[in-house]
């Protein structure tokens, strides 16, 4: 699946708009909890359901932790996000921001499970949410900053509150290394 034409530009301006509303500069880290309250989407950690549904919670927190990251639950048009708070903070940030991105992009609610009982996901919509989440958490300017400052992936992951994998992916997507290392032809205003 490839992102539709124009989506990346759209995502960048949406992300910038949201970051402006939060009073963040393009190299500032974004706190997904602040973002959630800004867009008025309540967040509930999986651990909150421990008493009500102990078995599923145990399953996703101890046995098969990677199976569940986050999901948007709809009540009419209202969204709320249930996320796996047993994951690392960096991973939680990405999962939460991914779900919020579905909201920002006004993706319609889709049934979480199809008739066969499998996750029924629309690949294009998923890619859009993942892309926007990456741009929100680690904007293009931030990737250039990380490379210019010669931060390690670990340092950048800590600064931006995300996983190393996300930092690495964003740096690759913006071509930050090439742009910083060849300033004359790449760094000025090229997108």
SS3 category, 41: coil
* Closer residue to Zn ion, CB minimum distance, 11 or 24: 11
Under the binding rule (CB under 5 A), the answer on residue 11 touching Zn ion is no
Site string for Zn ion, 115-134 (x = CB under 5 A): -----------x--x-----
Report, in Å, the least distance between residue 79 CB and Zn ion. Answer: 12
Neighbours of 80 (CB within 10 A): 15
Under the binding rule (CB under 5 A), the answer on residue 36 touching Zn ion is no
SS3 category, 100: helix
Strands 78-83 and 43-45: parallel
Under the binding rule (CB under 5 A), the answer on residue 81 touching Zn ion is no
Under the binding rule (CB under 5 A), the answer on residue 180 touching Zn ion is no
* Closer residue to Zn ion, CB minimum distance, 45 or 103: 103
Interatomic CA distance for residues 90 and 63, integer angstroms: 20
* Closer residue to Zn ion, CB minimum distance, 126 or 141: 126
Under the binding rule (CB under 5 A), the answer on residue 96 touching Zn ion is no
Helix, strand, coil distribution of the chain in percent, nearest 5: 55, 10, 35
* Closer residue to Zn ion, CB minimum distance, 99 or 140: 99
Under the binding rule (CB under 5 A), the answer on residue 41 touching Zn ion is no
Structure tokens belonging to residue 170: 């964003």
Neighbours of 40 (CB within 10 A): 9
CB-CB contact of 156 with 150 (8 Å): no
Report, in Å, the least distance between residue 66 CB and Zn ion. Answer: 15
- The footprint of Zn ion (CB under 5 A) covers 126, 129
């Amino acid at each position: 699946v490839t992102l539709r034409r124009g989506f990346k530009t759209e995502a960048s301006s949406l992300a910038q708009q949201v970051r402006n509303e939060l009073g963040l500069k393009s190299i500032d880290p974004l706190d997904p909890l602040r973002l959630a309250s800004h867009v008025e989407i309540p967040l509930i950690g999986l651990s909150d359901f421990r008493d009500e549904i102990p078995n599923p919670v145990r399953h996703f927190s101890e046995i098969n932790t990677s199976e569940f990251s986050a999901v948007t639950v709809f009540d009419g048009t209202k969204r709320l996000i249930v996320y796996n708070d047993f994951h690392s903070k960096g991973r939680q940030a990405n999962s939460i921001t991914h779900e919020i991105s579905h909201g920002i992009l006004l993706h319609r609610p889709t049934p979480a499970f199809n008739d066969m009982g499998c996750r029924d996901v629309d690949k294009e919509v998923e890619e859009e949410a993942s892309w926007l989440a990456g741009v929100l958490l680690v904007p293009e300017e931030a990737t250039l900053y990380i490379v210019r400052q010669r931060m390690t992936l670990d340092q950048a992951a800590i600064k931006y509150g995300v996983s190393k994998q996300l930092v690495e992916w964003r740096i690759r997507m913006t071509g930050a290394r090439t742009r910083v290392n060849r300033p004359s032809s790449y760094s000025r205003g090229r997108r």
